[in-house]
Each structure stands twice: as C-alpha cells, then as structure tokens.
Chain A
Amino acid sequence: QVQLQESGPGLVKPSETLSLTCTVSGGSISSYYWSWIRQPAGKGLEWIGRIYTSGSTNYNPSLKSRVTMSVDTSKNQFSLKLSSVTAADTAVYYCARMGAAFDIWGQGTMVTVSS
C-alpha cells in the first residue's frame, strides 16, 4: 500500500529556509494532490498547501509569501520550502495525500527553529 515518509533537517536557524521532502512508496505519485500539514506541540493541525503532479499549487494565504512546493515525479517525491522561519514555525510537519480527504499521512517529522 502507499506509504509516505518525510525527510529533512530537524533543526533550522531563524531567518533561514526550512526544506522537507516527502517520498511516496508503494504507488505512483501521479494524478493526486499532495499536501503539507503542520502541528505545533500541543496544538491543532494547520494546512500549509498542496501540489498536483502537474506542478499546480495552492497555498494557505497566511503562509503564501514564504512557501514554495515542488514535485519530482521521476523520484516519486514532493517538497516543501518555507523561508524566513521563526520560532513560530517550530512544529511536526506531515505530508499527506489529498483526495476526497487526507487519506494517507506520513509519520511526521519534528522541525525546531532555534539558533
């Protein structure tokens, strides 16, 4: 079955760019929307944005100026870049497949913003 795995640095310095990759295994990345969602410790879920396999994107307006998503279908991967990070961006970051709902999730990766 399809599985997702996030990867990337667990520690990012303030003002720098957070970069994460989600690898899709057990199935093709094609013909789906793929999302990034984050969750600060003890808080709720926040949708960051989504990308279609064509490269078309939609971002949460609250983060739009700092977010860039990309997809590499040859590697079955999609990626997130979040620029100018602050402590408020410290969270567990999840990648998820977005069909009728977020039906498949990665295990999540903790990213801490600290100097």
Chain B
Amino acid sequence: QSALTQPASVSGSPGQSITISCTGTSSDVGGYNYVSWYQQHPGKAPKLMIYDVSNRPSGVSNRFSGSKSGNTASLTISGLQAEDEADYYCSSYTSSSTQAVFGGGTKLTVL
C-alpha cells in the first residue's frame, strides 16, 4: 500500500483536459509544498514534470500544471496529446523518517 493515494487510471480524448489527484496527510502533502509529479513511459525512467507543487522544470510543456488544496495535490494536463499516454506518479516530502513517499501511480489513457 502506497503512502499517497492516486486513482489507478484516468482517460481523456485528444484536446481535452484531465486531472489526477494525489491524497496524503498533514505529515506529507498537506504539510509541505514539496509535491512533485513524474511521467513514466513503458520501459523508461520517470521524468520530472512538476516540482514544489506547481513549478515546471525547463523544457516541460505548459500544458502540465500542478496545484494543492489541503492534503490533496493535483496534476492537470490540458490539450491532451497521444504522447501524454503514460503512467504518472506523485511524490511528497514527509516528516516521517521515510523522507520521501510516492503515490501508487495513475495510468493515463488517451482515447
């Protein structure tokens, strides 16, 4: 069981927007602005898409955005493209001795 809870799957059609949630506790997501999101294509290493809740690394499309409310963080992808089909993972700093926790991952299908 993962420390952060994500939906197992989401889907959307090209051009649409989707949102993936990531629910934790006040000891991780809710307590710190250190939530990050990763995109992973099959057989590839994860790629950082969002850090510190809502910041995009250089080179990441502005179609990707992040936000947080209470103990739940969200990743929104607008203008869905076929290449966005992948697994997405959230991660957060945690005040527990674990230091870093991941969500279980969400499979995005572009219909």
What residues on B are CB-neighbors of A32 within 8 Å?
A: none
Give B72-111 as 1s and 0s: 1 = Cβ < 8 Å from A's Cβ atoms: 0000000000000000010100001111111111000000
Which residues of B14-35 are within 8 A (CB) of A?
A: 34
Chain B interface: which size bin? Answer: 20 to 34
* Cα distance, A98 to B102, chains bound together (Å): 14
What residues on B are CB-neighbors of A35 within 8 Å?
A: 100
Give A88-112 as 1s and 0s: 1 = Cβ < 8 Å from B's Cβ atoms: 0000001000101111011110000
A16 within 8 A of B: no
Shortest distance in angstroms between A50's beta carbon and chain B's nearest beta carbon? 7
Shortest distance in angstroms between A96's beta carbon and chain B's nearest beta carbon? 8
Chain A interface: which size bin? Answer: 10 to 19
A interface, CB within 8 angstroms of B: 35, 44-47, 50, 58, 60-61, 94, 98, 100-103, 105-108
* Cα distance, A35 to B36, chains bound together (Å): 15
